[in-house]
Structures are given as structure tokens and as C-alpha cells.
Amino acid sequence: MFARFHARLFGMPGQRSSRLYAFVALLLAPMFLQGCTASPPAPVSLRDPANPQATTAPVSYRGVVGPFANQKPAEPASWLEQNQQVAPPEKQ
């Protein structure tokens, strides 16, 4: 498959150099044109990091195990009783 492509692209010896240059130009043209495009806009931010008077949120300490709750294993209970405890009241 690649041999066929190569043979069709580079064809006869007299046309080889002009076809090769055209092929390389087609490959390289997008890269050169990409260099001419405008740079992307700066990201929108609420505070300027270069501003020394910019306010920041206060730093506070939160313990790593602060919200920990000890969970001891419980005995299995009846599913029927547990479902009735959390079910909405019956309509009358």
C-alpha cells in the first residue's frame, strides 16, 4: 500500500523533485500559517495576581480527623422494620 502511494506521489524521475517539493510544502504550510495567527486571549480572572493590594480569603485551620465519627459494627436488622422507619406516612 505504501509502495503504491510512494510510486504515485514521486512518479517519474523528471517529475520527482517538483512533486516532492509540492508535497513537502503542503505538509509544512499549516505549521507556518499557524505562526501567523493571533495569540489566544488571556484567561479571565477575578483578581490580578500581580496586585500586592489584592485581598485574599483568610487562612483557617481544619483538622484532618475533625469530622470523623466512630462507626461501630451493628447487628443485622430486619429490612421491613428499617424501610417502615424511613417510609413516608400512608395516605388515608
| C-alpha–C-alpha distance, residues 42 and 23, integer Å | 36
What nine digits make up the cell of 9?
A: 506521489
pLDDT digits (tens, 9 = 90+) for 60-72: 888 888 788 888 8
Alpha helices in 1-92 (DSSP H): 2-10, 16-34, 79-86
> How does pLDDT run across 22-57, given as a tens digit for each residue?
888 888 888 888 877 777 777 766 777 788 887 878
Domain ranges of the chain: 1-37
- d(CA 26, CA 2) in angstroms, rounded, equals 19
Which of the 8 DSSP states describes residue 55?
-
Say whether pTM exceeds 0.85: no
